[in-house]
Amino acid sequence: MSASDLPDELWARVLELGAASSALGFRDLCALAIACRRLRRLSLHRSLWSALLSRDFPSQSPQPSTSSSSSSSQHHPKSVYKTKFERHKVRMAEARRRVVFEAEGRVLACRRRLAQLEESLQAEGEKLKASAQELENLERVRRASVALNVWQPQVVRGRQKELVQQCTVPVDSRLSDLKMELKV
């Protein structure tokens, strides 16, 4: 005995059981519909599509049909399922787009923050260079000052005298301030 020898009632019962459980989905019913005329006719039963509607869209109750076989195709559970599926598909696509837009927004915010941090880092680097340069200049002034205090004024070179005279800030206090700033 082959599958084609089975009566339609048995096939219908198998399809109903599959639709009621998770074993048979709308894609499976559509695939059966294109297999042969007999399965197409069987896959179009209202009970199959009503079972799929209640299983896949439980929060929305299917529209009750007012007449049995003379109702229009737009009230057939298959067309209702198709409409709800298309709406669900559109909602899911919108939700994915929203997630992508939110992720892109977070990436953009991170890029802005990164640019701010890079600018801040560059400014701090420039401050560090200026402090290091000032520290080097103050070290030279301090050495010149020590040389002035230790050596005889006749022996001191003119350049050292100029360095000490140009410095208006107390060298030792400024040196300790710069060293602390560089450590931080």
What Rg do the C-alpha atoms of the chain give, in angstroms? 43
Instruction: Read off the pLDDT of residues 122-178 as tens digits, 9 standing for 90 and up.
Output: 999 999 899 889 888 888 887 777 666 665 555 455 655 665 666 655 666 767 777
Mean pLDDT, range 18-25, rounded to an integer:
83
Tell me the two tokens of residue 89. 């598909």
Spatial contact of 81 and 56, defined as CB atoms under 8 Å apart: yes
Q: What is the pLDDT of residue 160?
A: 59
- Cα end-to-end distance, the chain, whole Å: 90
Mean pLDDT, range 44-57, rounded to an integer:
87
Higher pLDDT, 107 or 24: 107
Spatial contact of 20 and 45, defined as CB atoms under 8 Å apart: no
Instruction: Read off the pLDDT of residues 53-101 as tens digits, 9 standing for 90 and up.
Output: 888 888 755 455 444 444 454 588 888 888 999 999 999 999 999 999 9
Distance CA 118, CA 127 (A): 14
Distance CA 99, CA 150 (A): 75
HSE, side-chain direction, 13 A CA sphere, residue 62: 24
